[in-house]
Structure 1
């Protein structure tokens, strides 16, 4: 018992109070994140749309998300973390309710687009604020705890949504909007602005635009490209895995049970990961996670029964668990303080692009080359990613060290102590994708 208490203190102790407010908001928001889980079923069964029309609506959500992450990153740096979060949450809650009451296809598609925009605009602001308030030495623990909350909330939401849907699909939208508003209220009451402005000389003594800085940052863009490859593999569990299981004669309920293993393993084991990888070379950890994830998805080529599919999920989930905290800490260290929101936005954009490309690419490979080629291709991508992390790792660490050194320049913290009006400055959403 004493050992467990010591581990708990080591895992959760010493983190800033603001982090715990953000963590609580994440958990509450995810506990009510019903809509995305059941959107396809709602559109086809409740609204009577075809599969292609449902795909159009979900695609509109993705397009809105891509715009939202880009705009959210810019607003995070220019306007501030707190007002961006609040505006995104209030906008998401409003559009959630509007989507629940919409009936015709184009109104629903427009609502989904705007909902995706507001919901994903919160990602860069939330990530930047998390980096702002958590010291570098504690970020591995902090991001692991936040990822744990995301998956705990997601797993519970999937179960609770089934009961809520029995009482009427509108309840899903109402509860989701309510939890989003509660998260916004926590931020409004308890979280202050954390944005800092660096007072000093720009790199090389010359002023540079934000977009130019990012587009010429080859180290960071290389890291984002590797994440895009990983996301293309990872998101096959949403698009192609259920089809592969159906081809093996397994029911949708079996798919639900198998994929639930992902959340169960993360909730049970994610908090042990920081101690496991602490002090280890991050590039080696990311390379190992890429190999493990590739092996897990690659073995799907040989799966034909439920337990085998479950085994593949458990394997690639282990890779996901190693990847997430190491990824998050590297993003934090590769993002210049004055451009932190926009760097977060570019990283989030890689997930949005993968969300749009992965099902199309997976479907084409499966149709043209076969099921085995798809999953063995995922394994090959994992191997390529591992090599990429090992090769680019030293340059990333040099860049991170340079930015830490540059961070010694004087900064001015923009932090308002006066109460701010809720309505005009408000609205943030917490992202609905588990990345």
Structure 2
């Protein structure tokens, strides 16, 4: 037991104060992130949209995420990560507040697109901040700390969102606005005088970025890696689109129980992420860790069609959370170490773009397959795709 506690403490040792503050900003922001997990249910229950119409609106969120990821990376390389993060948080506040005023498919799709552009431009800028304030040997753990904060917020936010949605769906939008505003205040107060003060060279995978400062869009190995990450994310992000609908329609769960299940996912990541990443850094290569993370995601979806009790839902989302822990931080580290300092924003922007593109295809494809062929075929096909992606990522990362 003492050895376990010591290992857990070691996982947090050596992380800088700015890294902890970035995590705090992310925690506050994500604690208020109540809209996306309930957006599909909101549209079907409050606005009476069909499943296909829900897929269209959620795909517009994904299109906005694609635009925001590219724009955020471009702006970060030109104006710095501080201003991009600050404006993203502040501008999102009024957008969240006015979103409930739009109730048709067309108008809601437009405002969700704009909201997504603004909120997702935060991601590449934040990733650059994490990379620049972390020591080279702690980059993966710094990303893990940030993601742990995201998931702690995600464990709290949906639970709060489920409670607020049971009163009125409008409150989830107001709660998201409040979280973004408080996060902006914390970020500005701590980082206003610290932007650009930390400098270090990035350590690279075999080919050093300093001798190869090319655009990520001409880096063929990284483009293939990003494509595979995108396919993984398309499968994984069913968690935010079709999975809540599956809970509601197949298992008859109400908003509160859906929120508890999604919150359980965040709780698992909070408890295990830093420890598992610390162990994986010592014992596994990037390729091996990403392979097992992707493979576990395949197993988690394969469990969903099992005709058993609620325990399968918790077991499935537990494995999905472990998948996230083993795969996503190391995917971000690959992007950081592949880039030079001059192209960090572009590389992190492309990395974010891969995941943002998934927000387009994940709900669009997921809702259509579920509507036409049922959730069972959706989960089995997702599992098969993930098995292929796990092998592809292993091969590509090893070659990189």
CA gap 1:109/1:236 in 2 versus in 1, 3 angstroms: closer
Alignment pair present for 1:264 and 2:267: yes
CA gap 1:127/1:239 in 2 versus in 1, 3 angstroms: same
- State which of 343, 350, 371 in structure 2 corresponds to 1:346: 350
> Match for residue 205 of structure 2?
none
Structure 1 vs Structure 2 CA RMSD: 3.2
Structure 1 CA distance for aligned equivalents of residues 111 and 171 of structure 2: 17
What TM-score results when the alignment is normalised by the length of structure 1?
Answer: 0.79
Structure 2 CA distance for aligned equivalents of residues 204 and 186 of structure 1: 34
Residue pairs, 1:69-80, within 5 angstroms: 69-80=69-80
Structure 1 CA distance for aligned equivalents of residues 211 and 243 of structure 2: 51
> Match for residue 377 of structure 1?
381
Q: Please state how far the C-alpha of 1:12 moved relative to its aligned partner.
A: 2.1
Q: Please state how far the C-alpha of 1:159 moved relative to its aligned partner.
A: 1.5
CA deviation map 1:73-98 (0-9, x unaligned): 10000111111111111111121223
Q: Please state how far the C-alpha of 1:301 moved relative to its aligned partner.
A: 3.7
Contact 2:96–2:174, Cα closer than 8 Å, also in 1: yes
> Match for residue 98 of structure 1?
98
Comparing 273-282 with 357-366, greater Cα deviation is found at: 357-366
Q: Please state how far the C-alpha of 1:22 moved relative to its aligned partner.
A: 0.8
> Match for residue 144 of structure 1?
144
Alignment pair present for 1:231 and 2:233: yes
Contact 2:60–2:360, Cα closer than 8 Å, also in 1: no
Larger Rg: 1
Residue pairs, 1:337-416, within 5 angstroms: 337-365=341-369, 371-396=375-400
Structure 2 CA distance for aligned equivalents of residues 238 and 222 of structure 1: 25
Residue pairs, 1:292-331, within 5 angstroms: 292-331=296-335
> Match for residue 112 of structure 2?
112
Structure 2 CA distance for aligned equivalents of residues 59 and 154 of structure 1: 21
Gapped regions of structure 1 (runs ≥ 5): 397-435
> Match for residue 283 of structure 1?
287
CA gap 1:44/1:361 in 2 versus in 1, 3 angstroms: closer
Q: Please state how far the C-alpha of 1:47 moved relative to its aligned partner.
A: 5.2
Structure 1 CA distance for aligned equivalents of residues 94 and 246 of structure 2: 37
Structure 1 CA distance for aligned equivalents of residues 216 and 81 of structure 2: 19
> Match for residue 82 of structure 2?
82
Contact 2:77–2:344, Cα closer than 8 Å, also in 1: yes
Q: Please state how far the C-alpha of 1:45 moved relative to its aligned partner.
A: 4.4
> Match for residue 335 of structure 1?
339
Q: Please state how far the C-alpha of 1:100 moved relative to its aligned partner.
A: 4.2
Alignment pair present for 1:251 and 2:257: no
Q: Please state how far the C-alpha of 1:106 moved relative to its aligned partner.
A: 5.0
> Match for residue 221 of structure 2?
219
Contact 2:81–2:125, Cα closer than 8 Å, also in 1: yes
Contact 1:259–1:310, Cα closer than 8 Å, also in 2: no
Comparing 43-52 with 232-241, greater Cα deviation is found at: 43-52
Structure 2 CA distance for aligned equivalents of residues 48 and 290 of structure 1: 35
SS in 2 for 1:305: coil
Q: Please state how far the C-alpha of 1:180 moved relative to its aligned partner.
A: 1.2
Q: Please state how far the C-alpha of 1:393 moved relative to its aligned partner.
A: 2.6
CA deviation map 1:35-69 (0-9, x unaligned): 22333444454456565555444333322222111
Q: Please state how far the C-alpha of 1:158 moved relative to its aligned partner.
A: 1.1
> Match for residue 417 of structure 1?
none
